[in-house]
Amino acid sequence: MPRPVKPRWVEFSPGVTYFKPAGVRMRDLEEVVLGLDEVEAIRLKDLIGLDQEQCAERMGIAQSTFQRVLTIARNKIASALIEGKALRVEGGNYLISPLFFTCTKCGSEWKNEDRNLSEPACPECGCKDVVGARVHPDQLQTVGPGGGPGGGRGRRNGHRHGHGHGNGPGRSPGPGFGRRRGP
């Protein structure tokens, strides 16, 4: 049985969701459907210009999954442009990200309200040097390898970067989880 698809975090919702070639009647057009998660991959990588690791982190998925979503999205867009198809933006496997921001200049905090988050700016002082978090800063809790409290990724049992250890976000517990060890 295949694993269920993990939802991807999306930070905005586009205002325009349908594009078609000019001069072609709707009934004569084939459609290409682009999921909102695919649009988010294009936005983060191609519009904002983040590297793939940053994009994957913001969407809450593995870098290899991000690469796959991005490649599929680019193929769909190329198909629509080259072959004269309509492009509909809808669906996908996503969750709208409840980002909170803190201004590094004045300390103001706010939650995104369906704003364009390409270049967030402080509503109080206009500063663009802001820090975003998925949850309100007061609710942040560090989670170490294995899902318990601690310092996040790092050395554990002499290993670096948590490779092969723990079950951080999006990882399954793996073999041996929950088994008793020893006599």
Q: Is residue 136 part of a domain?
A: yes
Residue 81 has pLDDT above 90, yes or no: yes
Q: Quick one: 19 and 92 in the same domain?
A: yes
Q: Is residue 19 part of a domain?
A: yes
Q: Quick one: 79 and 121 in the same domain?
A: no
Cβ proximity of 76 and 34 under 8 Å? yes
Q: Is residue 164 part of a domain?
A: no
Quote the mean pLDDT of the chain.
74
Residue 23 has pLDDT above 50, yes or no: yes
Per-residue pLDDT reduced to its tens digit, 101-112: 788 889 888 776
Which pLDDT belongs to residue 77? Answer: 96
Residue 117 has pLDDT above 60, yes or no: no
Per-residue pLDDT reduced to its tens digit, 86-97: 999 998 888 877
Q: Quick one: 12 and 77 in the same domain?
A: yes
Give the strand pairing for 100-103 and 130-133.
Answer: antiparallel
Q: Is residue 171 part of a domain?
A: no
**Element counts in the chain: helices (H) and strands (E):** 3, 8
The domain spanning residue 115 has which CATH number?
2.20.28
The domain spanning residue 74 has which CATH number?
1.10.10
Which pLDDT belongs to residue 179? Answer: 35
Q: Quick one: 92 and 14 in the same domain?
A: yes
Q: Is residue 174 part of a domain?
A: no
Q: Is residue 137 part of a domain?
A: yes
Which pLDDT belongs to residue 178? Answer: 37
Q: Decide which of 63 and 96 is more confident.
A: 63
How far separated are the first and last CA of the chain, in Å rounded?
34
Q: Quick one: 67 and 107 in the same domain?
A: no
Query: Cα dist. 133→33, 47, 68, 103 in Å?
Result: 30, 21, 25, 12
Q: Quick one: 59 and 103 in the same domain?
A: no
Task: Determine the structural domain holding residue 108 and report its residue range.
Answer: 98-158
